[in-house]
Structure 1
């Protein structure tokens, strides 16, 4: 089921409260960006649902990394934006200089971050590389 939360944090949390009041058996939430993740993380902590309701997400942020470390968020899927920006520039350079082209599509993601590897990527996330 889709749930629109909008950009206002207070409104988003009220929407989540209303949804959970009507659907108390909800056991998982999947968010589509770090802004929505922030609202859900706050909501889960305020309602005492952290660790009871599974939270998964798209996109990495400082807050999501911290939430994975403390067990509120189970995982996030990174698009690995650094590679999305770096590789096209590298390919353009190589093409212009040597007429080299990749033989196949180059996937820059997804990159999964969970409790098993969050410590490995944490510093890179803080530096905005991940």
Structure 2
């Protein structure tokens, strides 16, 4: 595990973010990084449902819907707990869903095994093409 050093002001801000979102400090850093990527991505969804392959995941008894973009490899969550949130990868989306629904567990997940294609019921890995 790598260690980073931050000043006390930054640590206080990170603590506020973590508490507000119900995350650990590490999860808050991961969340902020994902938000940075989402905000700087040209593939952001401006409105409506994005084009792509409808997918879903079930975690903690909750079904979460999404759309996988085969062109970019990104995934937009289209239902609670993160409606409208775009992620650079299915794994980023999976981690965010896990962190949102059960913040006390390590959110690391393989998105290609976490998400299922609605039309086939198979994992997203079943349509993965060299990514």
Which band: TM-score by shorter chain?
A: under 0.3
Q: Which has the larger radius of gyration?
A: 1
TM (normalized to structure 1)? 0.25
Q: Which has the higher helix share?
A: 1
Higher RCO by CA contacts (8 Å cutoff, separation 6 or greater)? 1
TM (normalized to structure 2)? 0.25
